[in-house]
Amino acid sequence: MITLDLTLPDTRYPIHIGHGLLDQVELILPHLRIPQVAIITNDVVAPLYLQRLTQQLEKHGVRTIPVVLPDGEEHKNWQTLNLIFDALLAANAERKTTLIALGGGVIGDMTGFAAACYQRGAPFIQIPTTLLAQVDSSVGGKTAINHPLGKNMIGAFYQPQLVVADMDLLATLPERELSAGIAEIIKYGLLGDIDFLGWLEANMDKLRARDPVALQYAVRRSCEMKAEIVGQDEKEQGVRALLNLGHTFGHAIEAGLGYGKWLHGEAVGAGMVLAAAASQAMGWLTADDVARVQALIAAAGLPIRSPDFGAAEWLRHMGHDKKVESGVIRFVLLQQLGQAVIQPGLPATLLESLFHSPHIDPALARQ
Amino acid sequence: MITLDLTLPDTRYPIHIGHGLLDQVELILPHLRIPQVAIITNDVVAPLYLQRLTQQLEKHGVRTIPVVLPDGEEHKNWQTLNLIFDALLAANAERKTTLIALGGGVIGDMTGFAAACYQRGAPFIQIPTTLLAQVDSSVGGKTAINHPLGKNMIGAFYQPQLVVADMDLLATLPERELSAGIAEIIKYGLLGDIDFLGWLEANMDKLRARDPVALQYAVRRSCEMKAEIVGQDEKEQGVRALLNLGHTFGHAIEAGLGYGKWLHGEAVGAGMVLAAAASQAMGWLTADDVARVQALIAAAGLPIRSPDFGAAEWLRHMGHDKKVESGVIRFVLLQQLGQAVIQPGLPATLLESLFHSPHIDPALARQ
């Protein structure tokens, strides 16, 4: 087991990465304020892991409240969040009851937001069960639900007590979810570590074959970079925005197609191709660089072409991005491979040509 | 104009109290991050003050987004909160757009919570239009919505940039709302300032007649006490819980009767009588003390008898209080007049007798 520390002005918490961690409840027990937890999970993860975690905790005298939600990004909304509050109140959960997120990014984001709001703030723990959640969403305290007009528009910065990333849980992960997680891993290479990008190119086959050593290294390196960036800028006043590489385009894809059509990681994959293409149009990346990005994303089993919404629709969806300031969309682009920058606004002609480029596929908009 | 300062570990903000402040937009302008605000108000306050505030702001080049919600505690829920998010997103409000709460406690609590969640945190300003909001709910950063199973169960600690309490706005306040505000003022006397309690007894007629000097003193003294207590304990780890005097009982009344039947201040009034009676049963207050509390609350035009839910129903509602720890309800009682204390748990026999005392009125439960 490797343990990373995320250090913030007001708090500090461990990120444990390793094998067989779900059964090591001694990692969790010291963080509980009272011996009561609510385990928030979904109907896909529950049959796999809920009973195991529950039994381990109850063996140590911890009362557990199970909350099983429907699976999928299309359920990351207020209606589903309210199911958590209903269950907590019906079971007399208290302000010191710990919420445990046992699931992927959707469960983690919703559980964290529920914890942020329940009685104005209950503690919570992340046990990510997908690669995407392990390398990205479970770390850093961004919690949220979607609004029909924009992804993650309603949420809070709210840090967990602890993150437990058990690599063994990835064994049951569907292929498509694995690729979605690799998208966020590629993001770290692209935005800040060219060596890691090279490593990913060399080891993509191993990652997709779930080689445990390769996977653990990729999770570790991603979490290290995330912890470092979030440690510098918890509330995204500056550098943290770079973690949104591919996300302004990606969120527009998710909202435009309807949440749940594409996985978040898939949208980020295609979004990073658009970000690379825009960076080429700015004169920063070469055609070879863009081809390299595209090849890596394709090798991960991710889509490299985005749906064709038309420029107006693209702009409308991107206009609901949290990085918009005074009406100007702040894009995360690549100055070079391994170095992301914020670009406030792009020329209309550049965007127009981007949305008529080979990176856009009209067929996809009619999925 | 008097200006108080609320100083917290991470922030500090002014509370302006005075006359004619609604038109002094120069108090607001320096706090805006971009020249765009959303003014959240309700259908009772909007016809009175919305246009005036809007015109003043637009005169200074500030774009305003009006959001008019239905009035009343029964609307302090997710459905209504979502109307705020809908309006913000439809108008392309950004993370730096300032939300202005123009209304009473319900509007202030909902606007604050919407600001806490919108794009994970937008700035907000409180312009309280009721006495209750001016003396209590607009100050200190407690924001929330209700859940059918418990009052204020979903919310956040989230501080405003500024509070502007314009005493002139109280001129349009209905009698019943004025009394509800006085309940929270009496609370400050009871919990921590016996001299202020005496002043209230001597000046209750003036307050109810809206004597401007008396009202301003009462608002100022209440805000001073609130700012001092919140400054010591923003997140209610300790002393801030004393501000809940009368509220554990009061919240049970509100939830038990259905939100909106009684005003929050009315429920707190009757709740303080129960808290005083329980304090007498503990041997802390004398019968004369309780009579004195009751007389003052009656003089304010507030109910002094609570509905008869039966002990089981009372306990069920009080069990959803945020001060419950490990299943034990933590009551705020009075060690003596002017000195509140936390009492973890009360003997069952004491509670039984309390719920069969003359402070309970069977007729009220059937309202």
In tens, the pLDDT along A226-284 reads 999 999 999 999 999 999 999 999 999 999 999 999 999 999 999 999 999 999 999 99
Identify the bridge partners of residue A154 per DSSP, sorted by sequence position.
Answer: A145, B118
The CATH code of the domain that includes B282 is 1.20.1090.10
Whether the CB of B269 is below 8 Å from some CB of chain A: the reply is: no
What's the pLDDT at B365?
A: 73
CATH number, residue A18: 3.40.50.1970
CA distance A6 to A15: 7
Q: Is A181:A131 a contact under the CB 8 Å cutoff?
A: yes
Closest C-alpha among A244, A243, A203 to residue A227: A243
Confidence of residue A367 (pLDDT cuts 50, 70, 90): low
Verify that B197 and B152 share a domain, yes or no. Answer: no
Q: Is residue B79 scored above 60 in pLDDT?
A: yes
Measure in Å the smallest separation between the Cα of B110 and chain A Cα atoms. 13
Confidence of residue A366 (pLDDT cuts 50, 70, 90): low
Say which DSSP state A357 is in: S
Q: Which residues contact A273 (CB under 8 A, 6 or more apart)?
A: A290, A293, A294, A297, A304, A305, A306, A359
Q: Which of A119-123, A178-182, A279-283, A323-327 has the lowest mean pLDDT?
A: A323-327
Mean of pLDDT values over B288-313: 96
Report the percentage of chain B scoring pLDDT > 70: 99
Assigned token pair, A367: 């999925």
Q: Are residues A167 and A199 in the same domain?
A: no
Assign B289 to helix, strand or coil: helix
Q: Give the end of a domain, one of B147, B172, B197.
A: B172
Final residue belonging to a domain, choices B140, B172, B204: B172
> What six digits make up the tokens of B337?
């007049």
What pLDDT, on a 0 to 100 scale, did the predictor assign at position A72? 94
Identify whether the C-beta of residue A39 lies closer than 8 Å to the C-beta of residue A111: no
Residues B120, B229, single domain; the answer is no
Quote the CA–CA distance of A335 and A348 in Å, as a whole number.
Answer: 20
Question: In sequence order, what are the beta bridge partners of B64?
Answer: B37
Looking at residue A247, its amino acid is H
Q: Please check the confidence at residue B77 and state whether its pLDDT lies above 90.
A: yes
Computed on alpha carbons and rounded to an integer, the radius of gyration of chain A in Å comes to 20
List the structure tokens of A267: 């949208």
Is B147–A85 a contact, with Cβ atoms under 8 angstroms apart?
yes
Q: Compare all CA atoms of chain B with the CA of A119 and give the residue at the minimum distance.
A: B153
Query: Does B330 reside within a domain?
Result: yes
Best to test chain A binding among B119, B137, B145 (most A CBs inside 10 Å): B119
Yes or no, beta carbons of B117 and A156 under 8 Å apart: yes
Angle, CA A168 vertex, CA A163 and CA A169 arms, to 5°: 70
Query: Average pLDDT in the A321-329 region?
Result: 88
Q: How many CA atoms lie within 13 A of B240 on its CB side?
A: 17
Class of residue A191 by CB neighbours under 10 A (exposed 0-12, middle 13-18, buried 19+): buried
Question: In sequence order, what are the beta bridge partners of A39?
Answer: A66, A100
**Residue B164 phi, psi dihedral angles, 5° rounding:** -120, 105
Distances (CA, A) of B256 to A9, A195, B250, B252, B261: 42, 62, 10, 6, 10
Average pLDDT over residues B131-156: 96
Out of A172, A188, A215, pick the residue that ends a domain. Answer: A172
A121 interfaces chain B, CB cutoff of 8 Å:
yes
Q: Let me know whether A189 and A318 are in one domain.
A: yes
Tell me if B118 and A153 make a contact (CB, 8 A cut-off). Answer: yes
- pLDDT of residue A347 exceeding 90, the answer is yes
CA B303 to chain centre: 17
Those of residues 167-226 in A touching chain B at CB distance below 8 A are none
Q: Are residues B136 and B254 in the same domain?
A: no
For residue B364, what pLDDT is reported? 87
* Beta strand B2-7 pairing with B12-18: antiparallel
B11 touches A at CB < 8 Å: no
Q: What pLDDT does residue B321 have?
A: 84
User: Cα(A346)–Cα(A328) distance, rounded to whole angstroms?
Assistant: 9
The closest CB to that of A89, out of B142, B153, B155, belongs to: B153
**Res. A341: pLDDT tops 80:** yes
Catalytic site includes residue B305: no
B212 found inside a domain: yes
Question: Among A97, A109, A119, A235, which would you mutate to test the B interface (most chain B Cβ atoms within 10 Å of its Cβ)?
Answer: A119
Q: Are residues B100 and B25 in the same domain?
A: yes
Quick check: B200 and B222 in contact, CB under 8 A? no
Look up residue A144 and give its amino acid. A
Q: Measured between alpha carbons, how far is residue B53 from residues A223, B29, B139, B361 in Å?
A: 48, 12, 21, 44
Rg of chain B over Cα atoms, rounded to whole angstroms, equals 20
Kindly state the average pLDDT of the residues B284-290.
Answer: 98
Q: Are A135 and A6 within one domain?
A: yes
B168/B309 same-domain check: no
Q: What is the largest CA-CA distance in chain B?
A: 63
Cα distance between residue A39 and residue B253, in whole Å: 31
> Which helix (DSSP H) or strand (DSSP E) does residue B75 occupy?
none
Range list of β-strands (E), chain B:
2-7, 12-18, 36-42, 63-69, 98-103, 124-128, 142-147, 150-157, 163-166, 306-307, 330-336, 339-344, 360-361
User: Is B240 labeled as catalytic in the residue annotation?
Assistant: yes
Q: How far is CA A43 from CA A46, A66, B13, in A?
A: 5, 11, 46
Identify whether A31 is a catalytic site residue: no
**pLDDT attached to residue B197:** 98
Asked whether the beta carbons of A283 and A320 are under 8 A apart, the reply is no
CB atoms within 10 A of CB B276: 27
The reply, when asked if residue B211 is annotated as ligand binding, is no
Q: State how beta strands A306-307 and A330-336 pair.
A: unpaired
Predicted interface score ipTM higher than 0.85: yes
Average pLDDT on A313-341 reads: 93
pLDDT given at position A60: 97
Mean pLDDT (chain B) is 96
B38 plus B71 within the same structural domain: yes
Q: Does A78 touch chain B (CB under 8 A)?
A: yes
**Residue A137: which domain range?**
2-172
Domain contains B10: yes
Give me the pLDDT at residue B366, please: 60
- Residue B367: pLDDT band (50, 70, 90) is low
Kindly state whether residue B177 falls inside one of the protein's structural domains.
no
Structure token pair of residue A10? 């007001």
Neighbours of B195 (CB within 10 A): 10
Residue A363 pLDDT more than 90?
Answer: no
- The single-letter DSSP state of residue B77 is S
Residue with tokens 């629709």: A313
> How crowded is residue A312: how many other Cβ atoms within 10 Å of its Cβ?
9
Q: Which single residue is written with the structure tokens 């990014």?
A: A105
How sure is the predictor about A365, in pLDDT bands with cuts at 50, 70 and 90? Answer: confident
Measure the CA–CA gap between B241 and A284, rounded to whole angstroms: 57
Nearest to B297 by CA among B365, B354, B249: B249
If residue A354 lies in a helix (H) or strand (E), which one and from where to where? helix A348-354
Do residues A218 and A164 both lie within one domain?
A: no
Kindly state whether residues B202 and B150 are assigned to the same domain: no
pLDDT band at B58 (very low <50, low <70, confident <90, very high): very high
CA distance A65 to A52: 14
Give chain A's domain count: 2
Answer whether residue B323 is part of any domain: yes
Of A84-88, A284-288, B44-48, B314-318, the range with the lowest mean pLDDT is: B314-318
The Cα–Cα gap between A255 and A267 comes to: 10
Within 8 A by CB and 6+ apart from B319, the residues are A92, B329
Amino acid B222: pLDDT: 98
Q: What is the token pair recorded at B192? A: 């921590």
Q: Catalytic annotation on A236?
A: yes
> Is B234 in contact with A121 (CB distance < 8 Å)?
no
Same domain, B309 and B204: yes
Asked if B164 and B126 count as a contact pair (C-beta separation under 8 A), the reply is yes
